Amino acid sequence: MRVLICDGLRQQGVKIFQKVKNLEVEVRKKIEPEELLDVIPDCDGVVIRSRTKIGRKVLKQASRLRVIGRAGIGVDNIDIEAATERGVLVMNTPGANAVAAAEHAMALMLALARHIPRADESVRAGKWEKKKFVGTELYNQTLGIIGLGRIGSIVANRALGMRMRVLAFDPYVSEDVAAKLGVELVSPQKLFRQSQFITIHTPFTKETKGLLDEAAFKMMKRGVRIVNCARGGIIDESALYEAIKKKKVAGAALDVFSQEPPVDNPLLTLPQVIATPHLGASSEQAQMNVAVAIAEQMVDYLQNGLIRNAVNMPSMSPKMIEQIQPYMRLAERLGHFLSMYFQGNVRHLKISYGGDLRELELAPVTNAAQKGFLERGLGEEVNLVNAPVVMRNRGIQVEIATTSEARGYAGLITLAVVTDQGQFRVAGTVFPTPECRIVGIDDYRVEASLEGRMLLISNHDRPGVIGFIGTTLGDHQVNIADMHLSRIRSKGTAICLVTIDHPVTSAVLQALKEYEDIIEVTEIEV
Protein backbone atom coordinates (compact mmCIF):
# COMPACT_ATOMS: atom_id res chain seq x y z
CA MET A 1 0.00 0.00 0.00
CA ARG A 2 1.06 3.58 -0.61
CA VAL A 3 0.01 6.82 1.09
CA LEU A 4 0.83 10.25 -0.32
CA ILE A 5 0.98 13.22 2.07
CA CYS A 6 0.51 16.31 -0.08
CA ASP A 7 0.71 19.43 2.06
CA GLY A 8 3.15 18.30 4.70
CA LEU A 9 2.17 16.82 8.06
CA ARG A 10 3.59 17.00 11.56
CA GLN A 11 6.12 14.27 12.25
CA GLN A 12 3.91 12.66 14.90
CA GLY A 13 1.39 11.81 12.17
CA VAL A 14 3.99 10.70 9.63
CA LYS A 15 5.49 8.27 12.16
CA ILE A 16 2.12 6.54 12.62
CA PHE A 17 2.08 5.73 8.90
CA GLN A 18 5.73 4.70 8.89
CA LYS A 19 5.17 2.11 11.64
CA VAL A 20 2.73 0.15 9.46
CA LYS A 21 4.29 -2.83 7.68
CA ASN A 22 4.05 -2.90 3.89
CA LEU A 23 2.94 0.73 3.80
CA GLU A 24 5.03 3.13 1.73
CA VAL A 25 4.77 6.80 2.71
CA GLU A 26 5.73 9.76 0.52
CA VAL A 27 5.68 13.27 1.98
CA ARG A 28 5.37 16.31 -0.29
CA LYS A 29 5.26 19.72 1.39
CA LYS A 30 3.95 21.14 -1.86
CA ILE A 31 2.62 19.42 -4.95
CA GLU A 32 1.43 21.00 -8.19
CA PRO A 33 -1.80 19.79 -9.88
CA GLU A 34 0.11 18.25 -12.81
CA GLU A 35 2.37 16.30 -10.44
CA LEU A 36 -0.63 15.04 -8.50
CA LEU A 37 -2.17 13.65 -11.69
CA ASP A 38 1.05 11.74 -12.36
CA VAL A 39 1.42 10.14 -8.92
CA ILE A 40 -2.20 9.57 -7.83
CA PRO A 41 -2.71 6.31 -9.85
CA ASP A 42 -0.28 4.51 -7.51
CA CYS A 43 -1.84 5.70 -4.24
CA ASP A 44 -4.17 3.84 -1.88
CA GLY A 45 -4.53 6.86 0.39
CA VAL A 46 -3.82 10.56 0.21
CA VAL A 47 -3.57 13.15 3.00
CA ILE A 48 -4.26 16.80 2.22
CA ARG A 49 -4.70 20.07 4.07
CA SER A 50 -6.31 23.19 2.59
CA ARG A 51 -3.92 23.82 -0.31
CA THR A 52 -4.24 20.70 -2.46
CA LYS A 53 -7.47 20.24 -4.40
CA ILE A 54 -8.80 16.81 -5.34
CA GLY A 55 -11.44 17.16 -8.03
CA ARG A 56 -13.11 14.88 -10.52
CA LYS A 57 -10.16 15.04 -12.93
CA VAL A 58 -7.74 13.78 -10.26
CA LEU A 59 -10.17 11.10 -9.07
CA LYS A 60 -10.53 9.73 -12.61
CA GLN A 61 -6.82 8.96 -12.53
CA ALA A 62 -6.96 7.47 -9.01
CA SER A 63 -7.53 3.84 -9.95
CA ARG A 64 -6.26 2.46 -6.60
CA LEU A 65 -7.37 5.22 -4.27
CA ARG A 66 -9.42 4.04 -1.27
CA VAL A 67 -9.36 6.98 1.11
CA ILE A 68 -8.77 10.74 1.18
CA GLY A 69 -7.84 12.13 4.59
CA ARG A 70 -8.37 15.84 5.25
CA ALA A 71 -6.15 16.96 8.13
CA GLY A 72 -8.65 19.53 9.37
CA ILE A 73 -12.38 20.16 9.04
CA GLY A 74 -13.10 21.87 5.71
CA VAL A 75 -13.60 19.58 2.73
CA ASP A 76 -14.52 22.21 0.14
CA ASN A 77 -11.29 21.37 -1.74
CA ILE A 78 -12.50 17.79 -2.34
CA ASP A 79 -15.15 16.76 -4.88
CA ILE A 80 -17.21 14.65 -2.47
CA GLU A 81 -19.70 13.58 -5.12
CA ALA A 82 -16.99 12.33 -7.48
CA ALA A 83 -15.20 10.55 -4.63
CA THR A 84 -18.41 8.81 -3.60
CA GLU A 85 -19.14 7.77 -7.17
CA ARG A 86 -15.73 6.09 -7.32
CA GLY A 87 -16.09 4.46 -3.92
CA VAL A 88 -13.40 6.59 -2.29
CA LEU A 89 -13.94 7.29 1.39
CA VAL A 90 -13.41 10.88 2.50
CA MET A 91 -12.65 11.55 6.16
CA ASN A 92 -11.73 14.64 8.15
CA THR A 93 -10.78 15.51 11.75
CA PRO A 94 -13.56 17.60 13.30
CA GLY A 95 -12.78 18.87 16.75
CA ALA A 96 -9.02 18.37 16.65
CA ASN A 97 -8.39 22.12 16.39
CA ALA A 98 -11.42 23.39 18.35
CA VAL A 99 -9.44 24.67 21.35
CA ALA A 100 -7.00 26.54 19.10
CA ALA A 101 -9.82 28.27 17.20
CA ALA A 102 -11.69 29.16 20.39
CA GLU A 103 -8.60 30.59 22.07
CA HIS A 104 -7.77 32.63 18.97
CA ALA A 105 -11.27 34.13 19.09
CA MET A 106 -10.77 35.04 22.76
CA ALA A 107 -7.35 36.53 21.99
CA LEU A 108 -8.84 38.70 19.25
CA MET A 109 -11.68 39.76 21.53
CA LEU A 110 -9.22 40.92 24.20
CA ALA A 111 -7.00 42.63 21.61
CA LEU A 112 -10.07 44.43 20.28
CA ALA A 113 -11.26 45.50 23.74
CA ARG A 114 -7.88 46.93 24.77
CA HIS A 115 -6.60 48.26 21.39
CA ILE A 116 -3.47 46.12 21.75
CA PRO A 117 -2.23 46.12 18.09
CA ARG A 118 -2.58 49.91 17.72
CA ALA A 119 -1.04 50.58 21.15
CA ASP A 120 1.92 48.34 20.31
CA GLU A 121 2.41 50.17 17.01
CA SER A 122 2.24 53.53 18.79
CA VAL A 123 4.92 52.63 21.36
CA ARG A 124 7.21 51.28 18.64
CA ALA A 125 6.82 54.64 16.87
CA GLY A 126 8.21 56.40 19.96
CA LYS A 127 4.84 57.62 21.29
CA TRP A 128 3.21 57.22 24.71
CA GLU A 129 -0.54 57.72 24.05
CA LYS A 130 -2.24 56.33 27.16
CA LYS A 131 -5.44 58.38 26.81
CA LYS A 132 -5.87 57.47 23.15
CA PHE A 133 -6.08 53.74 23.85
CA VAL A 134 -8.46 53.57 26.80
CA GLY A 135 -10.18 50.20 26.44
CA THR A 136 -13.18 48.35 27.82
CA GLU A 137 -13.38 45.39 30.20
CA LEU A 138 -14.99 42.07 29.27
CA TYR A 139 -16.22 41.65 32.86
CA ASN A 140 -20.02 42.03 33.09
CA GLN A 141 -20.32 42.61 29.32
CA THR A 142 -22.73 40.63 27.13
CA LEU A 143 -21.21 38.28 24.55
CA GLY A 144 -23.34 36.97 21.69
CA ILE A 145 -22.14 33.68 20.19
CA ILE A 146 -23.47 32.66 16.79
CA GLY A 147 -23.04 28.87 16.63
CA LEU A 148 -22.77 26.79 19.80
CA GLY A 149 -20.93 23.76 18.42
CA ARG A 150 -17.53 22.52 19.56
CA ILE A 151 -15.75 25.85 19.15
CA GLY A 152 -18.64 28.04 20.24
CA SER A 153 -19.10 25.98 23.41
CA ILE A 154 -15.43 26.40 24.34
CA VAL A 155 -15.68 30.16 23.75
CA ALA A 156 -18.76 30.24 26.00
CA ASN A 157 -16.85 28.42 28.73
CA ARG A 158 -13.91 30.84 28.52
CA ALA A 159 -16.19 33.88 28.46
CA LEU A 160 -18.16 32.70 31.48
CA GLY A 161 -14.84 32.27 33.28
CA MET A 162 -14.27 35.98 32.65
CA ARG A 163 -17.70 36.67 34.17
CA MET A 164 -19.35 37.70 30.92
CA ARG A 165 -23.05 37.21 30.29
CA VAL A 166 -23.33 34.84 27.33
CA LEU A 167 -26.16 34.72 24.78
CA ALA A 168 -26.16 32.27 21.88
CA PHE A 169 -28.08 31.68 18.69
CA ASP A 170 -28.05 28.12 17.40
CA PRO A 171 -31.34 26.47 16.33
CA TYR A 172 -29.64 23.07 16.48
CA VAL A 173 -28.91 23.18 20.21
CA SER A 174 -31.55 22.34 22.81
CA GLU A 175 -32.36 24.61 25.73
CA ASP A 176 -31.18 21.88 28.14
CA VAL A 177 -27.69 21.73 26.62
CA ALA A 178 -27.45 25.53 26.57
CA ALA A 179 -28.54 25.68 30.22
CA LYS A 180 -25.84 23.18 31.21
CA LEU A 181 -23.28 25.42 29.50
CA GLY A 182 -24.62 28.43 31.39
CA VAL A 183 -25.74 30.07 28.15
CA GLU A 184 -29.06 31.69 27.26
CA LEU A 185 -30.45 30.66 23.85
CA VAL A 186 -32.00 33.61 22.03
CA SER A 187 -33.13 34.67 18.58
CA PRO A 188 -30.56 36.37 16.32
CA GLN A 189 -32.52 39.60 16.68
CA LYS A 190 -32.25 39.54 20.50
CA LEU A 191 -28.57 38.62 20.27
CA PHE A 192 -27.90 41.57 17.97
CA ARG A 193 -29.81 44.02 20.18
CA GLN A 194 -28.28 43.01 23.53
CA SER A 195 -24.65 42.05 22.80
CA GLN A 196 -21.64 44.30 23.31
CA PHE A 197 -19.40 41.66 21.69
CA ILE A 198 -20.43 39.22 18.94
CA THR A 199 -18.33 36.23 17.86
CA ILE A 200 -19.11 33.87 14.98
CA HIS A 201 -18.61 30.10 15.15
CA THR A 202 -20.94 28.70 12.53
CA PRO A 203 -20.10 27.08 9.17
CA PHE A 204 -20.41 28.98 5.91
CA THR A 205 -23.57 27.72 4.25
CA LYS A 206 -26.29 29.13 2.00
CA GLU A 207 -28.21 30.04 5.15
CA THR A 208 -25.30 31.78 6.91
CA LYS A 209 -23.95 33.68 3.89
CA GLY A 210 -24.19 37.38 4.70
CA LEU A 211 -25.76 36.63 8.08
CA LEU A 212 -24.29 39.85 9.45
CA ASP A 213 -25.59 42.27 6.84
CA GLU A 214 -26.78 45.87 6.82
CA ALA A 215 -30.07 44.96 8.51
CA ALA A 216 -28.26 43.03 11.25
CA PHE A 217 -25.87 45.90 11.98
CA LYS A 218 -28.81 48.31 12.27
CA MET A 219 -30.23 46.15 15.08
CA MET A 220 -26.99 46.10 17.06
CA LYS A 221 -25.97 48.28 20.00
CA ARG A 222 -23.87 51.30 19.15
CA GLY A 223 -20.24 50.44 19.93
CA VAL A 224 -20.57 46.68 19.40
CA ARG A 225 -17.38 44.75 18.62
CA ILE A 226 -17.31 41.85 16.12
CA VAL A 227 -15.01 38.80 16.01
CA ASN A 228 -14.96 36.28 13.14
CA CYS A 229 -12.73 33.20 13.30
CA ALA A 230 -15.19 30.98 11.40
CA ARG A 231 -15.42 31.49 7.64
CA GLY A 232 -15.29 34.45 5.30
CA GLY A 233 -18.60 35.39 3.69
CA ILE A 234 -20.69 35.09 6.85
CA ILE A 235 -20.18 38.82 7.34
CA ASP A 236 -21.16 41.19 4.54
CA GLU A 237 -17.82 43.01 4.42
CA SER A 238 -19.22 46.10 2.67
CA ALA A 239 -21.92 46.44 5.33
CA LEU A 240 -19.32 46.01 8.09
CA TYR A 241 -17.14 48.70 6.53
CA GLU A 242 -20.05 51.16 6.49
CA ALA A 243 -21.07 50.24 10.05
CA ILE A 244 -17.54 50.99 11.31
CA LYS A 245 -17.34 54.26 9.35
CA LYS A 246 -20.66 55.34 10.93
CA LYS A 247 -19.32 54.32 14.38
CA LYS A 248 -22.15 51.84 14.85
CA VAL A 249 -19.46 49.14 15.19
CA ALA A 250 -16.53 50.14 17.42
CA GLY A 251 -14.20 47.55 15.95
CA ALA A 252 -13.83 44.17 14.29
CA ALA A 253 -11.25 41.39 14.58
CA LEU A 254 -11.16 39.18 11.51
CA ASP A 255 -9.23 35.95 10.99
CA VAL A 256 -11.13 35.08 7.81
CA PHE A 257 -12.22 36.95 4.69
CA SER A 258 -14.49 36.36 1.70
CA GLN A 259 -11.35 36.35 -0.45
CA GLU A 260 -8.12 34.99 1.01
CA PRO A 261 -5.66 36.52 1.04
CA PRO A 262 -7.70 39.76 0.97
CA VAL A 263 -6.78 41.95 -1.99
CA ASP A 264 -7.63 45.68 -1.89
CA ASN A 265 -10.10 45.03 0.93
CA PRO A 266 -11.26 48.43 2.29
CA LEU A 267 -11.65 46.95 5.78
CA LEU A 268 -7.86 46.77 6.02
CA THR A 269 -7.65 50.56 5.68
CA LEU A 270 -9.57 51.05 8.95
CA PRO A 271 -7.61 51.37 12.21
CA GLN A 272 -10.56 49.81 14.07
CA VAL A 273 -10.00 46.48 12.29
CA ILE A 274 -7.60 43.80 13.53
CA ALA A 275 -6.67 41.22 10.88
CA THR A 276 -4.89 37.87 11.12
CA PRO A 277 -4.09 35.45 8.25
CA HIS A 278 -6.53 32.60 9.05
CA LEU A 279 -4.65 31.49 12.17
CA GLY A 280 -7.59 29.88 13.98
CA ALA A 281 -6.18 26.35 13.77
CA SER A 282 -2.53 27.42 13.79
CA SER A 283 -1.29 26.29 17.18
CA GLU A 284 1.42 23.72 17.79
CA GLN A 285 -1.06 21.50 19.62
CA ALA A 286 -3.76 21.76 16.95
CA GLN A 287 -1.34 20.94 14.15
CA MET A 288 -0.17 17.88 16.06
CA ASN A 289 -3.73 16.84 16.95
CA VAL A 290 -4.97 16.86 13.35
CA ALA A 291 -1.84 15.03 12.13
CA VAL A 292 -2.20 12.23 14.68
CA ALA A 293 -5.98 12.01 14.24
CA ILE A 294 -5.96 11.70 10.44
CA ALA A 295 -3.07 9.20 10.48
CA GLU A 296 -4.79 6.96 13.03
CA GLN A 297 -8.11 7.12 11.19
CA MET A 298 -6.57 6.27 7.80
CA VAL A 299 -4.48 3.39 9.18
CA ASP A 300 -7.56 1.94 10.90
CA TYR A 301 -9.47 2.07 7.63
CA LEU A 302 -6.71 0.76 5.34
CA GLN A 303 -5.81 -2.10 7.69
CA ASN A 304 -9.09 -3.03 9.36
CA GLY A 305 -11.88 -1.32 7.43
CA LEU A 306 -12.83 0.73 10.51
CA ILE A 307 -14.52 4.00 9.54
CA ARG A 308 -14.36 7.13 11.71
CA ASN A 309 -15.34 10.69 10.79
CA ALA A 310 -16.32 9.69 7.25
CA VAL A 311 -17.87 12.52 5.28
CA ASN A 312 -19.54 10.57 2.50
CA MET A 313 -20.53 6.99 3.43
CA PRO A 314 -21.32 4.73 6.39
CA SER A 315 -20.17 1.10 6.40
CA MET A 316 -22.59 -1.00 4.33
CA SER A 317 -22.52 -4.11 2.15
CA PRO A 318 -23.15 -3.68 -1.61
CA LYS A 319 -26.50 -5.53 -1.32
CA MET A 320 -27.64 -3.28 1.51
CA ILE A 321 -26.63 -0.18 -0.42
CA GLU A 322 -28.71 -1.26 -3.41
CA GLN A 323 -31.79 -1.80 -1.22
CA ILE A 324 -31.71 1.30 0.91
CA GLN A 325 -29.85 3.94 -1.10
CA PRO A 326 -33.05 5.41 -2.63
CA TYR A 327 -34.55 5.73 0.85
CA MET A 328 -31.34 7.23 2.24
CA ARG A 329 -31.57 9.86 -0.48
CA LEU A 330 -35.25 10.46 0.36
CA ALA A 331 -34.57 10.73 4.10
CA GLU A 332 -31.73 13.19 3.57
CA ARG A 333 -33.83 15.39 1.29
CA LEU A 334 -36.75 15.34 3.72
CA GLY A 335 -34.26 16.42 6.39
CA HIS A 336 -33.09 19.29 4.17
CA PHE A 337 -36.68 20.37 3.55
CA LEU A 338 -37.63 20.21 7.23
CA SER A 339 -34.51 22.10 8.33
CA MET A 340 -35.48 25.05 6.14
CA TYR A 341 -39.16 24.89 7.13
CA PHE A 342 -39.23 24.61 10.91
CA GLN A 343 -39.19 27.57 13.29
CA GLY A 344 -37.91 27.86 16.85
CA ASN A 345 -35.41 25.88 18.90
CA VAL A 346 -35.37 22.12 18.39
CA ARG A 347 -36.42 19.80 21.21
CA HIS A 348 -36.67 16.46 19.46
CA LEU A 349 -36.95 14.80 16.07
CA LYS A 350 -39.39 12.01 15.24
CA ILE A 351 -38.70 9.60 12.35
CA SER A 352 -41.42 7.17 11.29
CA TYR A 353 -41.11 4.37 8.72
CA GLY A 354 -44.25 2.94 7.13
CA GLY A 355 -45.11 0.00 4.86
CA ASP A 356 -42.38 -2.22 3.40
CA LEU A 357 -39.62 -0.10 4.95
CA ARG A 358 -40.10 -2.03 8.19
CA GLU A 359 -38.31 -5.00 6.60
CA LEU A 360 -35.11 -3.07 5.74
CA GLU A 361 -32.00 -2.20 7.75
CA LEU A 362 -33.00 1.32 8.75
CA ALA A 363 -30.01 2.59 10.74
CA PRO A 364 -28.27 4.16 7.69
CA VAL A 365 -31.59 5.71 6.60
CA THR A 366 -32.02 7.20 10.07
CA ASN A 367 -28.49 8.59 9.91
CA ALA A 368 -29.24 10.11 6.50
CA ALA A 369 -32.36 11.81 7.87
CA GLN A 370 -30.40 13.29 10.78
CA LYS A 371 -27.57 14.37 8.47
CA GLY A 372 -30.01 16.11 6.13
CA PHE A 373 -31.72 17.84 9.03
CA LEU A 374 -28.47 19.09 10.56
CA GLU A 375 -26.14 19.90 7.68
CA ARG A 376 -27.87 23.04 6.42
CA GLY A 377 -27.15 24.60 9.77
CA LEU A 378 -23.86 22.91 10.61
CA GLY A 379 -22.35 22.36 7.14
CA GLU A 380 -19.32 20.09 6.87
CA GLU A 381 -19.22 19.39 10.61
CA VAL A 382 -21.91 16.68 10.26
CA ASN A 383 -21.87 13.51 8.13
CA LEU A 384 -23.59 10.13 7.83
CA VAL A 385 -21.44 8.61 10.51
CA ASN A 386 -21.45 11.30 13.19
CA ALA A 387 -24.98 12.72 12.74
CA PRO A 388 -26.45 10.74 15.71
CA VAL A 389 -23.56 11.84 17.94
CA VAL A 390 -24.02 15.48 16.92
CA MET A 391 -27.76 15.23 17.67
CA ARG A 392 -27.06 13.70 21.07
CA ASN A 393 -24.37 16.23 21.96
CA ARG A 394 -26.77 19.04 21.12
CA GLY A 395 -29.47 17.60 23.34
CA ILE A 396 -31.84 16.73 20.49
CA GLN A 397 -33.75 13.52 21.21
CA VAL A 398 -34.52 11.26 18.25
CA GLU A 399 -37.57 8.99 18.32
CA ILE A 400 -37.86 6.12 15.82
CA ALA A 401 -41.16 4.37 15.04
CA THR A 402 -42.39 1.84 12.47
CA THR A 403 -45.94 1.25 11.29
CA SER A 404 -47.80 -0.79 8.70
CA GLU A 405 -49.62 2.37 7.57
CA ALA A 406 -48.13 3.94 4.43
CA ARG A 407 -51.13 5.79 2.89
CA GLY A 408 -51.17 3.43 -0.08
CA TYR A 409 -47.47 3.80 -0.90
CA ALA A 410 -44.99 0.92 -0.79
CA GLY A 411 -42.89 2.80 1.73
CA LEU A 412 -43.36 6.08 3.59
CA ILE A 413 -40.90 8.16 5.64
CA THR A 414 -42.23 10.88 7.95
CA LEU A 415 -40.00 13.38 9.75
CA ALA A 416 -41.41 15.62 12.47
CA VAL A 417 -39.50 18.15 14.55
CA VAL A 418 -40.86 19.46 17.84
CA THR A 419 -39.68 22.95 18.80
CA ASP A 420 -40.66 25.58 21.33
CA GLN A 421 -43.03 26.91 18.65
CA GLY A 422 -44.83 23.65 17.83
CA GLN A 423 -44.46 20.63 15.55
CA PHE A 424 -43.43 20.72 11.89
CA ARG A 425 -43.85 17.57 9.78
CA VAL A 426 -42.98 16.35 6.26
CA ALA A 427 -43.54 12.96 4.61
CA GLY A 428 -42.16 11.39 1.44
CA THR A 429 -41.88 8.25 -0.63
CA VAL A 430 -39.80 6.79 -3.44
CA PHE A 431 -41.37 6.09 -6.83
CA PRO A 432 -40.06 3.14 -8.93
CA THR A 433 -38.05 5.38 -11.28
CA PRO A 434 -36.56 5.92 -8.53
CA GLU A 435 -37.76 9.44 -7.75
CA CYS A 436 -38.04 11.07 -4.34
CA ARG A 437 -41.40 12.74 -3.79
CA ILE A 438 -42.80 14.77 -0.94
CA VAL A 439 -46.36 13.66 -0.15
CA GLY A 440 -47.19 15.56 3.01
CA ILE A 441 -46.45 18.85 4.79
CA ASP A 442 -47.99 19.00 8.26
CA ASP A 443 -51.65 18.02 7.70
CA TYR A 444 -51.61 18.99 4.02
CA ARG A 445 -51.35 16.32 1.31
CA VAL A 446 -49.19 17.15 -1.69
CA GLU A 447 -47.30 15.12 -4.25
CA ALA A 448 -44.28 16.86 -5.74
CA SER A 449 -40.77 15.97 -6.83
CA LEU A 450 -38.40 16.48 -3.90
CA GLU A 451 -35.66 18.18 -5.87
CA GLY A 452 -34.43 21.65 -6.67
CA ARG A 453 -35.57 25.06 -5.48
CA MET A 454 -39.04 25.64 -4.10
CA LEU A 455 -41.22 28.25 -2.47
CA LEU A 456 -43.56 27.00 0.25
CA ILE A 457 -46.37 29.51 0.61
CA SER A 458 -49.02 29.41 3.34
CA ASN A 459 -52.12 31.45 2.58
CA HIS A 460 -55.79 32.04 3.28
CA ASP A 461 -57.93 29.97 0.90
CA ARG A 462 -59.49 32.84 -1.04
CA PRO A 463 -59.86 33.69 -4.73
CA GLY A 464 -56.99 35.54 -6.37
CA VAL A 465 -54.09 34.23 -4.29
CA ILE A 466 -52.77 31.77 -6.88
CA GLY A 467 -53.12 34.35 -9.62
CA PHE A 468 -51.17 36.87 -7.56
CA ILE A 469 -48.39 34.35 -6.93
CA GLY A 470 -48.08 33.54 -10.63
CA THR A 471 -48.19 37.18 -11.69
CA THR A 472 -45.65 38.28 -9.08
CA LEU A 473 -43.17 35.57 -10.02
CA GLY A 474 -43.68 36.32 -13.71
CA ASP A 475 -43.15 40.04 -13.18
CA HIS A 476 -39.80 39.23 -11.56
CA GLN A 477 -38.78 36.83 -14.37
CA VAL A 478 -39.04 33.77 -12.10
CA ASN A 479 -40.04 30.70 -14.11
CA ILE A 480 -42.41 28.20 -12.47
CA ALA A 481 -41.41 24.59 -13.16
CA ASP A 482 -44.19 23.00 -11.09
CA MET A 483 -46.95 24.01 -8.68
CA HIS A 484 -48.94 21.97 -6.16
CA LEU A 485 -51.86 23.18 -4.07
CA SER A 486 -53.43 21.71 -0.96
CA ARG A 487 -56.05 22.67 1.58
CA ILE A 488 -57.73 20.93 4.49
CA ARG A 489 -61.11 22.62 4.17
CA SER A 490 -62.67 25.31 1.99
CA LYS A 491 -62.11 28.91 3.08
CA GLY A 492 -59.54 27.87 5.67
CA THR A 493 -55.79 27.94 5.20
CA ALA A 494 -53.96 26.37 2.26
CA ILE A 495 -50.44 25.83 1.00
CA CYS A 496 -48.85 26.28 -2.39
CA LEU A 497 -45.58 24.47 -3.18
CA VAL A 498 -43.93 26.10 -6.18
CA THR A 499 -40.85 24.61 -7.86
CA ILE A 500 -38.78 27.33 -9.56
CA ASP A 501 -35.82 27.29 -11.93
CA HIS A 502 -33.64 29.90 -10.22
CA PRO A 503 -33.13 31.44 -6.77
CA VAL A 504 -35.39 34.37 -5.94
CA THR A 505 -34.28 37.74 -4.61
CA SER A 506 -35.35 39.25 -1.31
CA ALA A 507 -37.49 41.66 -3.33
CA VAL A 508 -39.55 38.76 -4.70
CA LEU A 509 -40.04 37.28 -1.23
CA GLN A 510 -41.03 40.67 0.16
CA ALA A 511 -43.52 41.26 -2.67
CA LEU A 512 -45.20 37.93 -1.94
CA LYS A 513 -45.28 38.48 1.83
CA GLU A 514 -46.93 41.89 1.47
CA TYR A 515 -50.08 40.39 -0.09
CA GLU A 516 -52.79 40.39 2.58
CA ASP A 517 -53.88 36.75 2.09
CA ILE A 518 -50.36 35.29 2.18
CA ILE A 519 -49.37 34.18 5.69
CA GLU A 520 -45.82 32.92 5.22
CA VAL A 521 -43.27 32.38 2.43
CA THR A 522 -40.33 30.00 2.87
CA GLU A 523 -37.56 29.44 0.32
CA ILE A 524 -36.40 25.81 0.26
CA GLU A 525 -33.64 24.02 -1.65
CA VAL A 526 -33.07 20.25 -1.60
pLDDT digit string (tens) for 92-143? 998 888 999 999 999 999 999 999 999 999 999 999 999 999 999 999 999 9
Domains 2-94+285-304 and 98-275 share a fold: yes
Lowest mean pLDDT among 1-5, 178-182, 200-204: 200-204
385 has pLDDT over 80: no
pLDDT on residue 85:
74
pLDDT on residue 339:
95
Select from 3.40.50.720, 3.50.30.10, 3.30.470.20, 3.30.590.20 the CATH code of 2-94+285-304: 3.40.50.720
- Mean pLDDT (whole number) for 249-278: 96
470 has pLDDT over 70: yes
Q: What is the mean pLDDT of the chain?
A: 93
What pLDDT digit, counting tens, does each position of 287-325 carry?
A: 999 999 999 999 999 998 777 888 886 655 556 667 888
Pairing of strands 422-431, 453-460: unpaired
Task: Say what percent of the chain tops pLDDT 90.
Answer: 79
Question: Exposed, middle or buried, 412 (CB in 10 Å: 0-12/13-18/19+)?
Answer: buried
460 catalytic residue (yes or no): no
- Mean pLDDT (whole number) for 40-63: 94
462 catalytic residue (yes or no): no
Nearest residue to 347 (alpha-carbon basis) of 178, 486, 120: 178
Catalytic residue of the set 201, 231, 437, 484: 231
| No. of helices (H) and no. of strands (E), the chain | 17, 22
Catalytic residue of the set 129, 137, 260, 516: 260
pLDDT on residue 477:
95
Q: How confident is the model at residue 268 (pLDDT cuts 50, 70, 90)?
A: very high
| Alpha carbon distances (Å) from 403 to 139, 142, 279, 360, 400 | 55, 48, 51, 13, 10
Q: How confident is the model at residue 375 (pLDDT cuts 50, 70, 90)?
A: confident
What pLDDT digit, counting tens, does each position of 188-215 carry?
A: 999 999 999 999 999 888 889 999 999 9
Q: How far is CA 366 from the centre of its chain?
A: 19
Q: How confident is the model at residue 380 (pLDDT cuts 50, 70, 90)?
A: low
pLDDT on residue 61:
95
356 has pLDDT over 70: yes
Lowest mean pLDDT among 31-45, 295-309, 382-396: 382-396
CA distance 357 to 338: 21
- Mean pLDDT (whole number) for 10-25: 95
Query: For residue 489, what are the contacts with CB-CB under 8 A and spacing of at least 6?
Result: none
* Architecture of the domain defined by 98-275: 3-Layer(aba) Sandwich (3.40)
User: At how many degrees (to 10) do helices 98-114 and 116-124 cross?
Assistant: 60
Q: Kindly list the domain boundaries of the chain, sorted by start residue.
A: 2-94+285-304, 98-275, 325-525
- Mean pLDDT (whole number) for 497-514: 94
Secondary structure letter of residue 489 according to DSSP: S
Lowest mean pLDDT among 45-49, 143-147, 237-241, 486-490: 486-490
Please tell me which residue, 446 or 359, carries the higher pLDDT value: 446
Q: How far is CA 202 from the centre of its chain?
A: 7
- Mean pLDDT (whole number) for 223-233: 96
380 catalytic residue (yes or no): no
Lowest mean pLDDT among 72-81, 113-122, 158-167: 72-81
373 has pLDDT over 70: yes
Q: Does domain 325-525 have CATH number 3.40.50.170?
A: no
Catalytic residue of the set 2, 165, 278, 347: 278
358 has pLDDT over 90: no
Question: Exposed, middle or buried, 139 (CB in 10 Å: 0-12/13-18/19+)?
Answer: exposed
